[in-house]
Chain A
Amino acid sequence: MEYHLKLPANKDEIKKLKISDILYVTGNIFTARDEAHHIMLENEKNALPFDPSEMALFHCGPLMKKEKVRWQVVSAGPTTSSRMEIFEDKFIEKFGVNIIIGKGGMGERTEKALQKFGGVYTAYTGGAGALAADKVEEVLGVYWLEELGMPEAAWIFKVKEFGPLVVAIDSHGRSIYKELKKSI
């Protein structure tokens, strides 16, 4: 099945999504890699400069360019999600994120958190940075840029029809990666 969702997605919309479904999202997404996960988890949700539960989480360290005062996305594909496995269950619980965009898959802890709190992990084609950048309409903000540098900072993007995203772990406990592993 193919779905086109407006962000934030509600509980019913998330529940409908099954592994191997194709998804396109429109709305706001924020990037966070290892360092941004770390910093955000040290804070309470209401102390953060933006509300992560209103957006999808994108595992991405984008290539950005500043044109005069405005930031522009040059290339912004996903980074390897498995590095965030050590943070993600706590992150989902604490911040209410229900759509994660990344590549390469995540492990059992994330799977369980997605099932318990109602969320999906979706895979965006790794390396397809130019294609992804093309779907970003506006850069709404950036946080921790000075401390963390361009790849590790949290960037907020307004995106339109961002995808194709493959639902790779759904909220019903199924994972493409897990099922594939069993068959090898």
Chain B
Amino acid sequence: MNFEDIKQGIIQLIKKAETELPKDVIVALENALEIEEGVAKTQIEAILKNIDLAKKTQRPMCQDTGIQTFFVTIGIDFPQINRLKDLITEAVKKATIEVPLRPNTVDPFTGKNHKDNTGDYIPYLTWDFVNGSDVNIIALPKGGGSENMSKLGMLKPGVGIEGVKDFVVDEMIKAAGNPCPPTVVGVGIGGGADLSMKLGKKALLRPVGKRHKDKTIAAMEDELIKRINNSGIGPMGLGGKTTVLDVHIEKAHRHPASLPVGIAVQCWADRRAQMVIHADGSWEVA
């Protein structure tokens, strides 16, 4: 297996995520352009122009290239599982120079920038194991402005799902223009504090426009999209019809005494890219 080649593949994965948005996000932004007017329209126009320019010039669409975040699904028959963590970390260091990425990892105690986008626990990796021999990596570089609007609510179970809806709508109205709307909102309901936050972030992996397969949850997603957009916050919080491009919900069973709700917010730059590594070391980035 050619590890240098796989590393190059991971760099390409990062570059793709930073420079090209998935088609589903672009379609949603183009739909927003059709319904917006005035100042709101100028914002969507600038966003679409920016996306186009970033792709053409192969440079990161946003200066905040994020915290490098990867969701890795490993087929248990992949022969070199033990090398994956090092390969991803090395690729992040190299991508910092080659793409380039903004050095975004700062020690919380000394304030010192690690300068290569790695550090304690970073890149942030989530592992999952399945049958098979392919490794699937999703890159989700996560910007700070939207991450700062994340929220955990430990609600009282008595408020029910209606209470969950109100919590999400209120928090997104409070966030206003700060997370760079139109955003994609991931909501994790249930589990514990950490699991609800994790589910919120995982929900962001779903393509924009795709509803949850459970009809009740899908209906709740539709309702939240409508309610948040009715707030009038609009693109960049300057007023308009499009505050969210989508809301995605995931759930876990909860403790009888708890109703955790985790909100993960993604800016319009809903950067996602995917890579498959096969058992022989060959790979594709999409």
Contacts and interface: CB of A to CB of B under 8 A. Distances in A.
Looking at chain B, what size class is its interface with the partner chain?
A: 35 or more
A133 B102 CA distance: 14
Interface string B228-240: 0001111111110
B269 interface: yes
B267 A126 contact: yes
Interface string A148-184: 0111000000000000101010000000110011011
A149 B232 contact: no
Contact of B100 (A65, A77, A125, A149): A65
Interface in A8-28: 20, 22
B67 interface: no
B106 interface: yes
Tell which of A63, A80, A104, A127 has the most Cβ of chain B within 10 Å.
A127
A184 B176 CA distance: 11
A184 B173 contact: yes
B156 to A, nearest CB: 25
B88 interface: no
Given A105-B176, A131-B49, A126 B59 contact: no
Interface in A75-131: 75-77, 79-80, 82, 103-105, 123, 125-131
Contacts of A134: 53
B176 A177 contact: yes
Contact of A149 (B50, B115, B233, B267): B115
B180 A103 contact: yes
A164 B47 CA distance: 11
A41 interface: no
B60 interface: yes
B59 A133 contact: yes
Contacts of A127: 47, 50, 61-62, 64, 143, 180, 267-269
A150 B62 contact: no
Contacts of A181: 176
Contacts of B43: 125, 166
Given A61-B64, A74-B63, A131-B49, A151 B104 contact: yes
Contacts of A75: 54, 59-63, 65, 102
A62 interface: yes
B249 interface: no
B231 to A, nearest CB: 5
Contacts of B61: 75, 127-130
A55 interface: no
Contacts of B50: 77, 125, 127-131
B214 to A, nearest CB: 30
Contact of B237 (A60, A129, A177): A177
Contacts of A128: 46-47, 49-50, 61-62
Q: Which 8 A-B pairs have the closest CB atoms?
A: A126-B180, A149-B113, A125-B46, A128-B50, A129-B63, A75-B63, A130-B54, A131-B50
12 contacts: A60-B63, A61-B102, A63-B101, A74-B59, A77-B62, A125-B235, A126-B268, A127-B47, A127-B64, A127-B180, A131-B53, A184-B231
Interface of A: 20, 22, 60-63, 65, 74-77, 79-80, 82, 103-105, 123, 125-134, 149-151, 164, 166, 168, 176-177, 180-181, 183-184
Given A75-B54, A77-B64, A103-B236, 10 more contacts: A20-B39, A75-B59, A75-B61, A75-B102, A127-B61, A127-B62, A128-B46, A176-B238, A177-B177, A180-B232
